[in-house]
Structure 1
Amino acid sequence: MAEEKMEVGIGFITEVDRYLFNNGKHYEIYEKLGAHPWTYQEEEGMYFAVWAPHAIQIGVVGDFNGWNPDLNPMTCLAKSGLWEAFIPNLGAGALYKYAITTETGKLLFKADPYAFEAEYRPQTASVTTDLSGFVWNDKKWMEKRKKQDPMDGPVSIYEVHIGSWRKKNREEKDGFYTYVEAAHELSEYIIEMGYTHVELLGIAEHPYDGSWGYQVTGYFAPTSRYGTPKEFMYFIDYMHQKGIGVILDWVPAHFPKDAHGLSDFDGKPCYQYADPGKGEHPDWGTKVFDYSKYEVDNFLIANALYWVEKYHVDGLRVDAVASMLYLDYGRADGEWIPNKNGGNENLEAIEFFKHLNSVVKKRGDNAMIIAEESTAWPKVTDSPEHGGLGFTSKWNMGWMHDFLEYMKLDPYFRKYNHHKMTFGLTYFTSEKYILVLSHDEVVHLKSSMIEKMPGLLEDKFSNLKVGYTFMLGHPGKKLLFMGQDFGQFHEWDEKVALDWHLADEPLGEELKNYVKDLLHLYQEYPALYEKDYDWEGFSWINANDNEHSIFSFIRYSADKKNNLLFVLNFTPVERKDYRAGVPKKGSYQLVFDETHGLYESGKKANTVLSEEIKWDGQNNSISCPLKPYGVAVYHFKG
C-alpha cells in the first residue's frame, strides 16, 4: 500500500466507518464508498471513496478532467485500504473511473465497485448519481410486508427478463422497454394472470447480454439498459402499489474477468481468493469472491441490504449457492483445496450465508432470501441458531428434475416411472421449498415447456395443463418463467421478444386462460399455501395407481374446514368409471377441471355426494369420471 498521507481524512468517512468496514459489519457502507454529492469547506461537489488495499496511487478520472490520472489524486486513509478524494463543482451525470497504479507500476482503469449507476453498454464507465429525493408511494405495501411472513401466504412468481419480455419498435437502446414502460405493461399482465410476485433476471449492471446478468460488474447499479436508478425505483414502487412483490436475482458467487471490473481490482487479488484453486471457477471462467475477507463479506451483505432497504425489493434469489458451499464444485481431483478439517465444504462461505441471512432477517422486514441450491445440503432454510444457513426458502431442483423427466415420457411409459411424481412428497417438509420451472430449463437445447411434452400438438397442450395442475397442488410456493404460460414454442433467447402472437391463437390462448385460472384458484383457496411445509396440509388419497397413471391427494386448510381434493389423469385414456376415496361423508364441489378451468364461485350444480363405498383405504368415495388428461379439483368442508 502507498505511504499513508493522512490519518483523519476530510471527514466523510469516520474512524467508526473504517473500523466497522474492516470488521465486516458496516451494513450501510454504500453510503460512504462510491461517489456521493457533498459539501466540503463550503464548496459543493462530489466525494469519492474506494477500497484498494494494494494500490500505490489512485486518481479519479472522467469526462470532467480529460481522463487524466494526475489531476484528481486520491489520498489513502490510515490502515484501512480506503482511498478518498473530493472534487468541487462536480455533480450528477459525470462519467468516471479509478486510475489505479499497482505495485508493479501498471496503470488500471476500473469502474467503481460501489457506483450507483453505470454507462450504457458496451461503454464501461461509472456515472455519478444522486439517489436522494425519490418519493415512495408504497407505504401500505411495506407495512403489510413487515407484518406477514411471506412463507405463510401465497407466492406465485413470474420470472422475467425485461430485455426480452417484450420489445419496442425502435432502434435506440436495442428496442428495450424502459423500467417505467415495463412497470405499466408488466403489472397489467401479472394482475390479469394472478401471479403474486415478479422475479427479474439481470438487473445489476453487467457487460454481456448473453450472461443474462449472472456475470456482474456493477453490484450497486441497476442496469442502464432499461433506464436510470430512479426509474428502477419507480418500477418497484409502481409494482407495490399494484400489489405485486419484486424479487431480484443476486449473484454473490462469482464475477467476470472484464478489465474494468472487480478482478485483480488493485493489481492483486482483492475481491477474489488469491489461490486459483479457490479463486476461479474453471467451468465459467469467472472469479470467486474471497469470503475470508471481512471487507468482501461487507461488500456483499451491504449490497443485499442496499437492494432491500434503498430499493424496497421484497426478495433476493441467490444464484449458484452450491458453487459457494462446495470447494470442489466444478473441479476435478487435485484442482481444489480441502478445508482445515480435510472436507470439501467452504467454511467461510457457510459463515457468510449465516451472517447475511441473520442480518437481513433482522433488518429486512420479511424480505426473502431464496437459495438456488441444487444439492441435498441440509438445513438450508433452518435458522443459524439450529445449525442451518438461514435462507427464507429454497428452489426445489430435485422436484423440478423428476417432474420434467416424467412429463417428457410417452404416457404409455409413465406407469413405470410413477415414483418420479411421488418422490417429492417424501421430503417436502425438510425445507421451505419453491417449485420452479425457470429460465434454465428452457434454454441450451432443453426445449421450451410445450416442446418437452410428448404427442401431437393438442396432446402437448393437454399434457402441460395436467402437469401445471399437479405443480399447483403440490406443496411449495411456485415459479414459472415467462412465455411458458401460453406455450412459447422456441427456446428462450435473450436477443428477441417472446412470441406474444401465440397467446392469441386458440391453443395458446386456451393454455394462458387455464394457467390464469390455476393461479386464481391458488389465491382463492388458502389450503394451497397455508400449510406448505407441514404434513397437516397434505395427504395422499392414492399415490400408487401407477397402472392408470392417476394421482389423487388432498390439500388441507389450516382450520381443516376448506379443503381441496385433486384427481389427475396423466394419460390420454378416458376413465369414465374412475372412483376416488374421500376422507369424510358429504358433498364435494367440483371447482376446477380441464374443460372449464376455474368454475364460477358459488356455483352448486357441479356438486357430487359421497357414497358409502370403501375405496383407497377410505370408508367413503365419490364417482370421478376423468377425460383423457382429465383434471378434477373438488372443494369440501372439514
Structure 2
Amino acid sequence: MTLRTVQTANYYGIRPDDLYLFNEGTLYHSYRTFGAHRLQWDGTEGVRFAVWAPNASDVRVAGSFNHWDGSGHRMERLGESGVWALFIPGLAEGALYKYEICDADGRKRLKADPYAFFAERRPGTASIVADLSGYRWRDGAWQRRKRERLPYDNPLLIYEAHLGSWRLAGKEQFRTYGELSAELADYAADMGYTHIELLPLAEHPFDRSWGYQITGYFAATSRYGTPKELMAFVDRCHRRGLGVILDWVPGHFCKDDHGLRLFDGTPIYEGPDPRLAEKPEWGTLAFDFGRTEVMSFLISNAIFWMDLYHIDGLRVDAVASMIDLNFGKPPELAAHNAHGGTENPEALRFLRKLNEIVFHYHPHALMIAEDSSAWPAVTSPTYWGGLGFNFKWNMGWMNDMLRYMALDPDERKHHHHLITFSLLYAFSENFVLPLSHDEVVHGKRSLLHKMPGSYEEKFAQLRLFFGYWMTHPGKKLLFMGSEFGQFDEWKDTEALDWFLLDYELHAKMKLYSRKLNRLYKERPALWEKDTDPGGFEWIDAHNAGQSVISFVRRGNRHGDCVVAVCNFPVRRIGITGSAFPPPAATGSLSIATTGASAALRP
C-alpha cells in the first residue's frame, strides 16, 4: 500500500499554520479544522473531513453514502502533521460516517469521529454530519448582565440536574431538549435558582455512566434531541435568568472500541504507559496530558461548549484523579514523576493552561473544580502559582456535615467539631458547598433519608440542615429532588418521585426550599463576602453540650448583617438581622430586619 502525502499550502481551507498550532498544542479552536464540515470549494458543495491519526498507514471515510466501504474515499495525509483529510463533494447534512483506519500492520478498525458534532442514538455508534451554524440566539440581555456581575460577590445557587431522569415520558422515553426548555428552565427559575448544572451531555454509549464515560466530546448527546434543540434549551434558560453549567470530563474516557482508545492502532489519546493510562476504579483510560495534540483537543472542547452553545461555565470532574498519579490505583500500577513524587506535572500544566485560555476567550466564565484533594491554591490565579479555577467544591464541608446530620441528636455533642471545622479553611479557596448527585446514590440514601428520627423529624432535620447550608459562607449547589424531600435515593433510570408533592410534608418542603432560595438571593450579607473572612464572625462556636452554634454574616454595606442561630438537637434555626427572634417553630426559619419581620413556616 502506498502512503499518499499531500504538501499543500491550503487543503480545502486547512492551513499549514493550523496544523502547526495543533501539533504544538495551541490550536484552541481546533473544532473549526477537524471533524466533518460542510463547505463550498471552487463552486462545489460538499463535506471536508479531517482527523488526527499519526500512526495509521491509511485512513478512509466509510458511511451511509458508500455502503460502509471506504475504499473509494481514501483520505490524504497532510505532511508530517499526522492529520488526514478528504473533501467529498455532494455530501449532505445527516450523512452517517466513521473513519476506517488501517494500522501499521494493515488491520482495519472503524472509529467514530473524535470531533463529530452529532452522533447516532445508542446503540448506534456512527457519527453524523451536522451543521451547527445558523441558530439565532436571543440571550443578549443575559450576556450583558453576566459581564456586569462578578460571580464572587453575587448569589450563586445551582440546581444540579440529570436530564435523563429529571422527568420521563415513559420507560426509557426521555424528555426532549425542547420539552425541557419549558419544564426544567421554568421550574428552576420559579424555585429561585441562579444556575442549572447539567450532568455531562457529550455523547456516551452507556446511560448508566450518566455521561461521565464519553466517546464523542464535541457531540451533544442525541438522547434528548438535536444540537440546535440544545442551543434553544440554553437560550431559554438565559432568557429566564438562569446560567447553564456543564459537567465536563477531561480526566478520562471510556474504552469502547469505536471511541478514542487505540484510535489509530496505537495509544495516542491515552499514552503508552499503562500505569498512567489505566483508571481501574472506573474501567476507563486517562488522557495523556503531556501530548500536545491532546492539549489542543481538550482545551478546544472547553472553548467549543462556550462558543457554540453559550454554556456559562464548566464543572471540571475528578480533578484529584488527574493531579495524583496513583489516585484509586492498586500498588502494581503505582507510578512516580521525575522527582519521585506522585503529582502529575503534565496534568497540572494542562489545568493551568486550560483556565488561562478559557478566561482569555470567556473572561466571565465559571470554571469550577470538583476536587477532593488538599492541593493548595486551586482557585488562585496561575500567575500566583495557582491552578486558575474561580471556584472549587468544598468536599470537606459536605462530608463533615452529612456525617454530622446522620448522627442521633443526642450524639452530636460528641462530634461538635464537624460543624465548626470548616470555618478554619472556609476562605482559603473560593468554595461552592455541594450537596450533589454523588451523595444520594449507590446506597448512600437521599438527603431526607439520611436524617435521624421519625418521618416528621427527618423533615425538621433537613430544613435545619438547609438553613445552616444557606447561611454558611460559600456558594450553593443542590441535586434535583432534594428540594422537595425525595425519600428514595436517586434512581438514574427512573424519574424523580414527583408524586410525593401530593403529600403535605413534601409539598411544604418544596415551599420551604423555594422561600429559602429567595431569602438567600434577597440578603446580600449571605453572599457578598463569601470569599472574605470579614464577612463572617462567630458569636458562639463552643456550645457543644447543647449543640448550638451562632454566627454573623456581613455584607458590604455598613450594618447589613444576618445573625444565624442553629439549634441542632431541638431541630431549630433562627436568622435575624438585628436581634435574636423568639423561639421558632420546629424546623422553621425566621428572619427579622430593622422595622420589619417575616417568617417562613412550611
TM-score (norm 1): 0.91
Cα distance 1:90–1:398, how it changes in 2: closer, same or farther (>3 A)?
A: same
Alignment of 1:403-442 (within 5 A): 403-442=401-440
Q: Contact 2:121–2:222 at 8 Å: present in 1 too?
A: yes
Using the TM superposition, give the Cα deviation of residue 594 of structure 1 relative to its aligned residue in structure 2, in angstroms: 5.7
Post-superposition CA distance 1:475-533 (Å, at most 9, x none):
00000000111111111111100000112311101111111111101100111111001
Q: Note the C-alpha offset of 1:308.
A: 1.0
- Following superposition, the deviation at residue 568 of structure 1 comes to 1.2
Q: Which amino acid aligns with 2:344?
A: N
d(CA) in 2 for partners of 1:524, 1:210: 38
Q: Secondary structure of the residue that 1:152 maps to in structure 2? A: coil
The AA in structure 1 aligned to 2:261 is S
2:596 aligned to which of 584, 601, 604: 604
1:254 aligns with 2:252: yes
Change over 3 Å in CA distance of 1:494–1:565 after alignment to 2:
same
Indicate the residue corresponding to 2:343 in structure 1.
Answer: 345
Give 1:186's match in structure 2, choosing from 184, 187, 190: 184
| Partner amino acid, structure 2, of 1:94 | A
Shift of residue 560 of structure 1? 3.1
Cα shift at 1:34: 0.2
Matches within 5 A, 1:424-463: 424-463=422-461
Whether the 8 Å contact between 2:200 and 2:210 is mirrored in structure 1 is yes
Partner of 1:5: 5
Is the CA contact 1:590–1:606 (under 8 Å) kept in the aligned structure 2? no
Following the alignment from structure 2 to structure 1, what is the Cα–Cα distance between the partners of residues 300 and 384? 24
Question: Structure 1 residues 259 and 166, CA, compared in 2 at 3 Å: closer, same or farther?
Answer: same
- Contact preservation (8 Å) 2:464, 2:587: no
Shift of 1:282: 1.5
Is 413-422 or 179-188 further displaced after alignment?
179-188
Q: 1:226 aligns with which of 224, 227, 233?
A: 224
2:149 corresponds to which residue? 148
Query: 2: distance between equivalents of 1:2 and 1:179?
Result: 47
Q: Distance in 2 between matches of 1:504 and 1:531?
A: 39
What SS does structure 1 have at the residue aligned with 2:350?
Answer: helix
Q: Do the aligned partners of 2:19 and 2:81 also contact (CA within 8 Å) in 1?
A: yes
Counterparts in 2 of 1:43 and 1:450: CA distance versus 1, 3 Å: same
AA matched with 1:474: H
* Structure 2 match to 1:15: 16
Using the alignment, how far apart are the partners of 2:593 and 2:521 within structure 1? 13
**How has the CA–CA distance of structure 1 residues 513 and 597 changed in structure 2, closer, same or farther, with 3 Å as cutoff?**
farther
Q: Who is 1:379 aligned against? A: 377
* Equivalent position amino acid for 1:128 in 2: V
Residue 35 in structure 1 maps to residue 27 in structure 2: no
1:110 and 1:222 mapped to 2: Cα distance? 18
Task: Say whether 1:366 aligns with 2:358.
Answer: no
**For residues 406 and 529 of structure 1, do their structure 2 counterparts lie closer, same or farther at Cα, with a shift above 3 Å needed?**
same
Displacement after TM superposition at 1:337 (Å): 2.2
Work out whether residues 37 and 130 of structure 1, in 8 Å CA contact, stay in contact via their aligned partners in 2: yes
Q: Deviations over 1:576-595 (max 9, x none)?
A: xx9x9x99xx7667899767
Partner of 1:293: 291
- More divergent stretch after superposition (489-498 vs 396-405): 489-498
Counterparts of 2:513 and 2:143 in 1: how far apart (Å)?
28
Q: What's the counterpart of residue 322 of structure 2?
A: 324
Amino acid at match of 2:131: D
Residue 73 in structure 1 maps to residue 71 in structure 2: no
Q: Shift of the alpha carbon at 1:253? A: 0.3
Of 254, 263, 266 in structure 1, the residue corresponding to residue 264 of structure 2 is: 266
Tell me the number of residue pairs that the alignment of Structure 1 and Structure 2 aligns: 600
Residue 626 of structure 1: aligned partner: none
Letter in 2 for 1:604: A
Give, as a single letter, the amino acid of the residue that structure 1 aligns with 2:218. F
Could you tell me which residue of structure 1 aligns to residue 399 of structure 2? 401
| Residues 380 and 387, structure 2, Cα contact 8 Å, conserved in 1 | yes
What are structure 1's unaligned runs of at least 5 residues? 608-630, 633-638
Judge conservation of contact 2:355–2:387 (CA < 8 Å) in 1: yes
Counterpart residue identity of residue 163, structure 1? G
CA distance in 1, matches of 2:271, 2:11: 32
Equivalent AA in structure 1 for residue 523 of structure 2:
Y
- Give the structure 2 partner of residue 167 of structure 1: 168
Give the Å deviation of 1:197: 0.4
From the superposition, tell whether residues 438 and 61 of structure 1 become closer, same or farther in structure 2 (CA, over 3 Å): same
Gaps of 5+ in 2: none
Please say if 1:139 is aligned against 2:130. no
User: Within 2, Cα distance between the matches of 1:226 and 1:602?
Assistant: 49
Rounded to whole Å, the distance in 2 between the matches of 1:93 and 1:357 is 34
Q: CA deviation at 1:335?
A: 1.7
Q: Return the alpha-carbon distance in structure 2 between the equivalents of residues 590 and 39 of structure 1.
A: 74
Q: Please tell me whether residue 214 in structure 1 is matched to residue 212 in structure 2.
A: yes
Question: 1:495 is matched by which residue type in structure 2?
Answer: T
- Cα gap change, 1:588 to 1:421, in 2 (>3 Å): closer
**Rg larger in structure:** 1
**Shift in Å, 1:574:** 8.4
Residue matched to 1:488: 486
The more displaced of 214-223 and 360-369 is 360-369
